[in-house]
Amino acid sequence: MRELEEQLDAHRQRQQDLFPQLSLTEMYNALKKVRRGEALTAKETATHEQELIEILRELHDKLVTSVFAAYGQPRRRPA
């Protein structure tokens, strides 16, 4: 889990270094919309096209799976 957490943190930091105007709130709001299948704004679409959201989603999904496995629970589908 620690390695996944470090990868997640490094990814977020790298993206904020590349795109200083991008906030964590904007990242996670866009991720929430992608998970729900909602339409993205132009700014969110640009963020998504930089692969930020897909990588963020992948890392979070792996972390959730890891946490559930650590507690002996079946993997749940992320919301």
Looking at the chain, the whole-number percentage of residues with pLDDT higher than 90 is 14
Is 15 domain-assigned? yes
Q: How far is residue 23's CA from residue 60's CA, in Å, rounded to a whole number?
A: 17
Is 43 domain-assigned? yes
Tell me which residue range forms the domain holding 40: 2-70
Considering the entire predicted model, what is its pTM? 0.74
Is 79 domain-assigned? no
Q: By three-state DSSP, how is residue 55 classified? A: helix
The pLDDT tens digits of the residues spanning 7-41 come to 888 988 888 888 888 888 888 889 999 999 999 99
Is 75 domain-assigned? no
Q: What is the mean pLDDT of residues 37-65?
A: 86
Looking at the chain, the whole-number percentage of residues with pLDDT higher than 70 is 94
Q: By three-state DSSP, how is residue 23 classified? A: coil
Number of domain units in the chain: 1
Is 76 domain-assigned? no
Q: How many CB atoms lie within 10 A of CB 20?
A: 8
Contact 69, 75 (CB under 8 A): yes
pLDDT above 60 (res 78): no
